[in-house]
Amino acid sequence: MTYVLLIIGFALLIKGADFFVEGASQIARKLHVSPLLIGLTIVAFGTSSPEATVSIVAALEESAGVSIGNVVGSNIFNITLVVGLTAFLNPLRVKRETIRKQIPFTLLAGIAFLVLISDVSLQSMAENLLTRSDGLIFLLFFAIFLYYLFEVARTSKDEHSENTDSKTNSWGKNIALTIGGLAAIIFGGELVVNNTTDIAISFGMSETMVGLTIVAIGTSLPELITSVTAAIKKESEIAVGNIVGSNIFNILLVLGASSVISPLTVDNQVFTDAILMIVLTGVLLIFSRTNYRIGKTEGIILVAAYVLYMVYVIMRNMI
């Protein structure tokens, strides 16, 4: 039965992403805003729902390692495997605005995370914590990001006001596609995570190993499926916006809300992962500046980076 539910979960993810991208891109056209903005907001928020659910529940249950590890692991997964596979299938065009503002904002969020968890080094405290004050700082950064998005939305609407597409679906159909697709993505992601975890444990994997790998990968499957689907549909702006927006949401909103609910103790191993996350974000910025696109070669490099990271994590937890 576990394998049947796993297959159903993957089917829901794939079909849900198809509906979600279709509905979101149609709504963008009807609102006369760029698909990039829809990717940064509706799509990014929707595909980050599994990370938010897992991390907030983990915070309520005082499982700080799961909460923080899920976010950092998911962000690394997004930057490497999601971007890599998407670019390999269809090279991603990256807008100047994304290179100049949105990816640097992601980089800033990662650096802020590293600084705020460095209590022992910077403040001579007994342990590293993400406190409620740190969470409020994250949420303040998130509020600034939302303000920026509202400004982009206003400008974007002005620029796209004359580009009305008469072939778009009705409002009702677009909203139904978007909400139905999102529900399928979230439910499918939950089925995949739960059943893959059961299968992994049955093969003798520890819960810690499952959390570091399968939970982070499973909660990022919506980003992967949605971005790949968007790339196949030639909606590269939605694909890029989804990845960048999801990483910003994960650090600022998910970790912010989680640490406000309950202060999170930081495992020392997380520092290596956090530094790697920042370095990979910098690599993404460099790749994006190459002719304003991420091509197949860069995609292969990013996928290889994720494989090496997984090998490192497995080896680290075997010692």
- Beta-carbon contacts of residue 80 (< 8 Å; ≥ 6 apart): 280, 302, 303, 305, 306, 309
Residue 196 near residue 24 (C-beta atoms within 8 A) = no
281 pLDDT more than 80: yes
Digit-coded pLDDT (tens) for 148-184: 887 877 776 555 555 545 456 788 888 898 889 888 8
**β-sheet bridge partners, residue 129:** 265
More confident residue, 17 or 301: 301
Residue 49's pLDDT band, with cuts at 50, 70 and 90, is confident
Angle at 64 between CA 272 and CA 147, to 5 degrees: 80
Phi, then psi, of 88 in degrees rounded to 5: -65, -40
Q: Which residue type occupies 195?
A: N
Q: Is the pTM of this model over 0.85?
A: no
Query: Can you read off the two tokens belonging to residue 285?
Result: 């910025």
Give the mean model confidence (pLDDT) for residues 5-11. Answer: 83
Residue 178 has a CB neighbour count (10 Å cut-off) of: 23
Query: Can you read off the two tokens belonging to residue 196?
Result: 């893959």
More confident residue, 274 or 185: 274
Residue 223 near residue 78 (C-beta atoms within 8 A) = yes
Task: Report the chain's mean pLDDT, rounded to a whole number.
Answer: 83
Complete domains list, the chain, with CATH: 2-318 (1.20.1420.30)
Which of 97-101, 105-109, 237-241 is modeled with the greatest confidence?
Answer: 105-109
Angle at 82 between CA 107 and CA 205, to 5 degrees: 105
How would DSSP label each residue in 146-184?
Answer: HHHHHHHHHHHHHHTTT---TTPPPHHHHHHHHHHHHHH
Give the mean model confidence (pLDDT) for residues 25-32. Answer: 76
How many helical (H) and strand (E) elements, i.e. helices and strands, does the chain have? 17, 4
Query: Would you state the pLDDT for residue 168?
Result: 60
Query: Would you state the pLDDT for residue 58?
Result: 72
Query: Would you state the pLDDT for residue 158?
Result: 54
Residue 141's pLDDT band, with cuts at 50, 70 and 90, is very high
Digit-coded pLDDT (tens) for 113-125: 999 999 888 877 7
Query: Would you state the pLDDT for residue 309?
Result: 93
pLDDT cut 90: percent of the chain above it:
29
**β-sheet bridge partners, residue 264:** 130
Query: Would you state the pLDDT for residue 27?
Result: 79
More confident residue, 54 or 100: 100
Residue 148: exposure state from Cβ atoms within 10 A (0-12, 13-18, ≥19): middle
Nearest to 184, CA basis, from 56, 23, 2, 3: 23
With the C-alpha atoms ordered 112, 114, 117, 121, is the resulting torsion angle positive or negative? negative
More confident residue, 127 or 35: 127
Which of 10-19, 93-102, 130-139, 284-293 is modeled with the greatest confidence?
Answer: 130-139
Digit-coded pLDDT (tens) for 59-89: 777 777 777 888 898 899 999 999 999 999 8
